[in-house]
A = this chain, B = another copy of it.
Amino acid sequence: MMLSFTEENYLKALQKIVFYSGIEKVGTNELATALLVTPATVSNMLKKLKEKELVDYERYGKITLTKTGRKKALDIIRKHRLWETFLYEKLEFSWDEVHEVAEQLEHIQSEKLVDKLDKLLEYPDFDPHGDPIPNKKGEVKVRVNKTLADVAVGSSCKIVAVKDDSSSFLKYVAKVGLELNSEIVVVSKQEYDAITVIEVNGTESSVSQLFSENIFVV
C-alpha cells in the first residue's frame, strides 16, 4: 500500500517517540508537538491511519502503531539513516548537515535503491550520529539509554550517540569539542540548575541539563 509523505511522517514520529521515551502509548498532543502541527490536525489524520490499520486507537484513547505501522516506520527510519551515512561517508557532508537532506531522501520509493545503497556503504550498523540502522526486517540493535546527565560527578564516560540530530545542537556539540567516541570527564555539577562542568581533551565547558540529556554515553 502506497503512503503519502505526510502519512509516512506520522508513522516515523510515533516510532521515534516510543524509541526515545520508552513509553509505548502516545497522546495526540505529544504527536502534534513532534510534527509541528495542531492537535486537531492529528485527530483528523488518526482516523485515516486507523482506517488503513497502521495505528490502534479509540476516541480519547492512546495511540500505538500496529505491526504493519511499525514495520513501515522502521523502513523509513532505515532509509533516513542509510542516506545520512551515505552523505557523510561518500559525499563529504558533516554530521550536522546530513539530517535535513535525509528528511527528504527518506521518502524516495525504491527497494532496489535502498538495497544497493546498503551494499555500497558495506551494510553499516550505525549512522553518523551513532543511531542504529534497522535492518531490512526492521530489527534494531538495542540502544544505550544512559545519558551524560546520568554520569556521576568525578566519573568519565564515552559519547556513543546523540539523541537530537538537528544542525543547531550538533554545532553546539562540536563547539564543546565533542564527537563520537570522545572521552568526557564530569568535573562538577550545580545542585540548583544542574549546570555541569565537563572536560574534553583538557578543555572545560559548562553545559545545561538539556544538553546532557541529549548525549548518549557508556
Contact = CB atoms under 8 A, between A and B. Distances in A.
Contacts of A112: 93, 97
A33 to B, nearest CB: 25
A113 to B, nearest CB: 6
Given A90-B120, A91-B120, A120-B90, A108 B104 contact: yes
Interface string A31-69: 000000000000000000000000000000000000000
A6 to B, nearest CB: 13
B104 A116 contact: no
B116 A91 contact: yes
A169 B17 CA distance: 46
A92 B105 contact: no
A136 B105 CA distance: 22
Interface string A89-108: 01111000100110011001
A170 interface: no
A117 interface: yes
B110 A108 contact: no
A120 B97 CA distance: 18
Contact of A87 (B92, B101, B109, B113): B113
B108 A93 contact: no
A65 to B, nearest CB: 25
B90 A113 contact: no
Contact of A117 (B91, B113, B116): B91
Nearest to A92: B116
11 contacts: A87-B113, A90-B120, A91-B113, A93-B112, A93-B116, A97-B112, A100-B110, A101-B110, A104-B109, A104-B110, A105-B108
Given A92-B116, A93-B112, A101-B108, 10 more contacts: A90-B120, A91-B116, A91-B117, A97-B112, A100-B110, A101-B110, A101-B113, A104-B108, A104-B109, A104-B110
